[in-house]
Amino acid sequence: MNGRIQSSSPDADGALMLAQPSGRPDFGRLIEAVAQHRDRQAFAELFAYFAPRLKSYLIRTGAAAGTAEDFAQEAMMTVWRKAALFDRERAGASTWVFTIARNLRIDAARRDGKALRELDLSELPNDPAQPDQILSGIDDEARIRAALEALSADQARVVRLSFFHDKAHAEIAQELGLPLGTVKSRLRLAMIKLRDLLSER
């Protein structure tokens, strides 16, 4: 158990990681400390955990190590700057950091190489969380982990690659040595299953 995601993808080598032990720091509280008190110690703890993962994240997308290092620093700058927008009822700390990285990536991936646009976290309207969505972070994470575990190894691999690759399908097909159609149908089945397991209603 322990939230292990099965995969034999050559890409996923190190992704065969155990889930965090339940004793990990409350990252949500640390982000709030940065927001409220500009707490540098809290930020250093966040940095120690997230920056090396953000760097891996960008390396997975095909970036060079130096670019990934800059990206991770930029994303952590944004964590500091936008900490006040963090709302633990709406997203767990890891999800929030992921969306920061995601926004930064959309901007950074532009091929014209111009300076980054300031991130726009207001891209999605702020819905008031509904009572049944206010799960404790732990429950929510457990649910997501369980859903990922319920996918077949092949499906989980395609979902993971979809999160990490640009121009997803053609590249994924190439990487896995599978026809494009197979990748697409596998992803579609995985999404149906995830919807089934994770939709609110």
Compute the least distance from the CB of residue 14 to other proteins, in Å.
Answer: 3
The residue among 127 and 131 lying less far from other proteins, judged by its C-beta, is 127
Residues 114-143 that bind other proteins (CB under 8 A): 114, 117-118, 120, 122-125, 127, 133, 140-141
Pick the closer one to other proteins by CB: 23 or 123: 123
**8 Å CB contact between 124 and 102:** no
Tokens 């990934």: give the residue: 68
Give the contact letters, 77-116, x = binds to other proteins (CB under 8 A), - = no: x--xxx-xx----xxxxxxxxxx-xxx-xxx-xxxx-x--
- DSSP assignment of 153-176: HHHHHHHHHHHH-SSHHHHHHHHH
Binding mask 14-53 vs other proteins (x if CB under 8 A, - otherwise)? xx-x-xx-----------------x-x--xx--xx-xxxx
Residues numbered 59 to 78 that lie near other proteins (CB under 8 A) are 59-60, 65, 68-69, 72-73, 76-77
CB of 132 to other proteins, least distance (A): 11
Rounded Cα distance, 155 and 178, in Å: 13
- Which of the residues 148 through 187 are near other proteins (CB under 8 A)? 148, 159-160, 162-169, 184, 187
DSSP letters, 103-167, are: HHHHHHT-TT-PPPPPP-GGGS--PPPPGGG---HHHHHHHHHHHHHHS-HHHHHHHHHHHH-SS
Tokens of 125: 């309207």
Q: How far apart are CB 71 and other proteins at their closest, in Å?
A: 11
Residues 115, 150: Cα–Cα separation, whole Å: 41
